[in-house]
Structure 1
Amino acid sequence: MDNFILLNKKKLFSFLNLLYVKNYGIAFSLLSSNSIFEYWLIITLSVLIIFIIFIKLYISDIYDIKLIISMLFILGGAIGNLVNRIINGYVIDFIDLHIKNYHFATFNFADFFIFFGVFLLFLNDKF
Structure 2
Amino acid sequence: MTFLTLVVALVVALDQATKALVLVYFPLHTVKEIIPGFFNLVHARNTGAAFSILAGAPSFWRQAFFVAVTILIVVMILLAYRKLKSDDVWNRWGYALIVGGALGNLVDRVRLGSVVDFLDVYVGAYHWPAFNVADSAISVGAVMLLISLIRGK
- TM-score bracket for this pair, using the shorter chain length: over 0.9
Q: Deviations over 1:20-39 (max 9, x none)?
A: 11111111111112421111
Higher helix fraction (1 or 2): 2
Query: Equivalents in 2 of 1:80, 1:39: separation in Å?
Result: 15
Structure 1 Cα separation of the partners of residues 146 and 82 of structure 2: 20
State the secondary structure of the residue aligned to 2:54: coil
Distance 1:100 1:92 in 2: 24
Look up the SS of the partner of 1:75 in the other structure. helix
Which runs of 5 or more structure 2 residues have no equivalent in the other structure?
1-22
Q: Which residue of 1 aligns with 2:55?
A: 32
Q: Give the TM-score taking structure 2 as reference length.
A: 0.79
**Structure 1 runs not aligned, ≥5 long:** none
Distance 1:39 1:124 in 2: 32
Instruction: Give, in whole Å, the separation in 1 of the partners of 2:144 and 2:45.
Output: 28
Residue in structure 1 matched with residue 132 of structure 2 by the alignment: 108
Whole-angstrom CA distance in 2 between matches of 1:3 and 1:61? 44
Q: Which is bigger in relative contact order (C-alpha 8 A, separation at least 6)?
A: 2
> For residues 122 and 59 of structure 1, what CA distance do their matches in structure 2 show?
18
Amino acid in structure 2 at the alignment position of 1:88: L
Q: Write out aligned runs for 1:1-127 (5 A).
A: 1-14=23-36, 15-33=38-56, 34-125=58-149
Q: Displaced runs of 4+ in structure 1, greater than 6 A?
A: none
Aligned to 2:20: none
SS at match of 1:114: helix
Deviations 1:16-55 (A, max 9, x none): 1011111111111111124211110000001111111110
Deviations 1:60-83 (A, max 9, x none): 222211110111111110110011
TM-align CA RMSD: 1.4
Counterpart residue identity of residue 9, structure 1? V
CA shift for structure 1 position 121: 0.9
For the residue of structure 1 that corresponds to 2:102, the secondary structure is helix
- Amino acid in structure 1 at the alignment position of 2:88: D
